[in-house]
Chain A
Amino acid sequence: MLFNFREKLNSSKFLVTAEISPPKGTNVSAPLEDASQLKGLADALNVTDNQCSIMHMSSLAFSKLLLDEGHEVIMQLTCRDRNRIGLQSDLLGAYALGIRNVCVMTGDFPSCGDHPGSKPVYDLDSVQLLELVRKLDEGTDLAGNGLDGGTSYCTGAVSGINPQDILQLIKLDKKVRCGADFIQTQAVYDVGMFEEFVESTVHLDAPILAGLIPLKSLRMAEYMNEHIPGIHVPDEIISRLKTASDPVEEGLSIASGTIKELMKLCRGVHIMPIGSHKNTPRLLSMTGISGD
């Protein structure tokens, strides 16, 4: 329990991270309550940054609230909404407030969300943002000016898992070269495909946490296949959901089977349920993972 996330990454423990979204509004009780179910179970909570370009409370503010409740947090940071000045000042502010882990990503285009006309920033891309965090860690800003107190972030990046997608693999290679300390992936359903992905990244010196979104229905699985970039739900899972009398329960059983396979392949799982974490503690206990 004394270990922070960086130390846990360096240990041999199979890690669990879980995604929490800040509220749309100022009432924080529901997401804090959701997070409290994961205390002792998750090694860190990822706090999303206006996910799907839908405006929410800031990732920084909600990360701090979770920190105050005793959670280890990974603040997500996208390139969509801030230029290099905004990104750096938020990273310094977050560090001063006690946030020690970040996970950076490009960010969905604004047209995907609820303010489709907002100006897309993307002053930096995710590779350049990793380089920026490395500079702050070294005690200077992006322009090379010295800082009165730098940062020491444990920095994550994200990746798709298609082993045939050469461009994604090259980008992942760049992310690790720019200092990514860990990788969290798109949701895994096809373990065979993920195994190939892991093999193709074996030269990269960064632990991988496999993404996991428990399925709740056949419709959800079909939607994933049709609409979510980089996700492939295999036919076998589709037919299990088709014949299940309780699809939610079947989805948890599928997810726990996937986690057991992933334990042999990578350093951890990153759980991103649609909706609340109501079933996450049970899912983890089905795989033999219990609190520390």
Chain B
Amino acid sequence: MIITSAKPFEEILEILKDEDDVFIIGCNVCAAKLKTGGEPEVLDMCRRLEEHGKHVVGWALPTAACSIRSYESLVEKNETIKEARCILVMGCGSGVSASASVVDLPVYGSNDTLSLGGSSGGKLLSNQCIMCGDCTVGEFGGLCPKSQCPKGLLNGPCGGAVAGKCEVNRENDCVWALIYERLKTINRLDLLYVIHAPKEHAFK
């Protein structure tokens, strides 16, 4: 799941200050789950924009904003898009880019895209993966230090970690403390002694 957070409404008004006749595209997958772009949020956005003097021509809720087939598929969902002069996408950054690839109008995003995460036991998990394209997560017991350590350290914690907490935010666990516990549980503490080479950052 792509983790997003809704931008403050004032910021959206600022983004749209020179625009009108807005068509809104929601996302019925990740953003719907996170309440940043499902049907209730899209309807709420329509109402608030209208209250602030913006004309909303219509809206559509594709299954996933990041997998829009074509402009015609949007017209099929709601042909008022033909009257639009701009598009507001309530999905992740990928949803905004995918929409822009099929619509010849200015396209804006209403969310900030934070990380690739998920949820477990009802708890939201952020920064689970940075999509580096070179996965070695098994060597860390299934917890990725590249994504969960702010410094992405592969060979152990930095000197800023104290009592299992992170230097950057003392509220957060140091992922290396979690990796240690994981490796202990699965009886693979030997992996802690492996010297990991730098990652290759080729653009893929």
Contacts and interface: CB of A to CB of B under 8 A. Distances in A.
A1 interface: no
A111 B159 contact: no
A89 B40 CA distance: 54
A122 B152 contact: yes
Interface string B173-204: 00011001000000000001101111001000
Contacts of B25: none
A230 B193 CA distance: 22
A171 B192 CA distance: 9
A84 B197 CA distance: 12
Contacts of A171: 155-157
B33 interface: no
Nearest to A125: B153
Nearest to A173: B193
Given A111-B168, A167-B192, A120 B155 contact: no
Interface residues of B, number: 25
Contacts of A82: none
Contacts of B151: 79, 106, 109, 120, 122, 125
30 contacts: A106-B151, A106-B153, A106-B159, A106-B160, A108-B167, A109-B150, A109-B160, A109-B168, A111-B168, A120-B150, A122-B152, A124-B198, A128-B155, A128-B196, A128-B197, A128-B198, A158-B159, A166-B180, A167-B156, A167-B161, A167-B176, A167-B177, A167-B180, A168-B156, A171-B157, A173-B193, A174-B156, A174-B195, A229-B159, A229-B160
Interface of B: 150-162, 167-168, 176-177, 180, 192-193, 195-198, 201
